[in-house]
Amino acid sequence: MTEKELEILVNSSNKITEHWRKYEDDILELIDSSDIKQTAEACYILENNSESILHEILNSVINNNFYSASILYRSLTEYFLRLIYIYLRANNDKNDNVGYEYNVLLKENETRQFNNSISELNGYIKEYNISVNKKYLKPITTSMTLEQTKNAKINFSYRNIIKYIFQNYNQIKLFGPDDIFFFIVMQEYLELSSFVHGGPTSTEIFSLQSNKDESEEINGFYITRSLKICNLQKFYVINLFINHNLKFSVPNVQILLELMEQFNISL
């Protein structure tokens, strides 16, 4: 992809973001009044946080720091797949259960796991007459046990998310006649695990950075992929609201959806 093509792409994405901003106040009001409040909130937060990741990916690419871009992009793919899973579950279950699982049960599971890990750490280091201060322990907000929250952890595991997306793939809006974008993202998620966890294969990218052609290809890859993921997330947030009969007060939401479709078809 040439520099001019990238510029056109970024400008198109910025145009979508400008339209999206017009609906944000609407979205926040709809979340509060919705019967799928937990689910809508979870999707909106994932989308919003993904925008922050996107900006840092672009900064990393500008500075030719592809190692950091790889770590950030891997996180972005996970946010994306989680949002799609929540979107599909909400459409199939026709209730707010998946949002409750994510916002309450999964959070509770993470909190209890963290506290258990702190206790375990204290067990390892007590012989050195030091301990992790109890102020680092997170407050438990429910009477649930770790066991009771395990199902949420299982449901939001990568393995289960991928399985569920495959089982419901016909419900996903695709762009283009042979769009295999979701399958590519799943593969990239696995490939980039080494960057997040300090694996040895992650160092291969340094040899690519020294090659101008390879460097430009990586540059284009991270920009196009990241922009597409973030715009798809907006697309599914809007459609989640539409599917659950939540009405926007700002007119012409269809224009925003059409802009998103045109953008994604062009990639």
Give the integer Cα–Cα distance in Å for 156 and 165.
12
Let me know: does 229 contact 12? Beta carbons within 8 Å.
Answer: no
Q: What is the pLDDT of residue 226?
A: 94
How far, in Å, CA of 188 to CA of 183, rounded?
Answer: 9
- Rounded Cα distance between 14 and 178, Å, is 26
Question: d(Cα 50, Cα 83) in Å, to the nearest integer?
Answer: 10
Coil, strand or helix: which one is 38? helix
Work out the average pLDDT over 140-153: 78
Predicted local distance difference test score (pLDDT) of residue 178: 58
User: Residue 149: inside a domain, yes or no?
Assistant: no
By the 10 Å C-beta count (0-12 exposed, 13-18 middle, 19+ buried), 65 is classed as middle
Spatial CB neighbours of 74, under 8 Å, sequence gap ≥ 6: 188, 189, 192, 193, 195, 196
Domains held by the chain: number:
1
Gap between the Cα atoms of 38 and 93, Å rounded: 14
Classify residue 76: in a domain, yes or no: yes
Range of the domain at 160: 3-104+156-265
Flag whether 82 is in a domain. Answer: yes
The pLDDT assigned to 135 comes to: 62
227 domain-assigned: yes
pLDDT at position 82: 97
Across the range 161-190, mean pLDDT stands at 84
Residue 130 resides in a domain: no
Judged by average pLDDT, the poorest of 142-151, 160-169, 208-217, 241-250 is 208-217
Query: How much of the chain, in percent, has pLDDT values that exceed 90?
Result: 38
Tell me, yes or no, whether 51 lies in a domain.
Answer: yes
Tens-digit pLDDT profile for residues 204-233: 766 665 566 666 777 788 888 999 999 999
- Quick one: CA torsion of 99, 104, 108, 110, rounded to 10 degrees? 30
Q: The whole model's pTM is what?
A: 0.88
Residue 200 counted as domain residue: yes
Confidence of residue 163 (pLDDT cuts 50, 70, 90): very high
Please, which pLDDT band fits residue 25 given cuts at 50, 70 and 90? confident
- Write down the pLDDT at residue 27: 86
3-state SS, one letter per residue, for 103-147 = HHHHHHHHHHHHHHHHHHHHHHHHHHCCCCCHHHCCCCCCCCCCH
Q: What is the structure's pLDDT at 134? A: 64
State how far the Cα of 98 lies from the Cα of 90, in Å rounded to an integer.
Answer: 6
Residue 145 lies in a domain: no
Nearest to 233 by CA among 15, 90, 86: 86
Residue 66 has pLDDT above 70, yes or no: yes
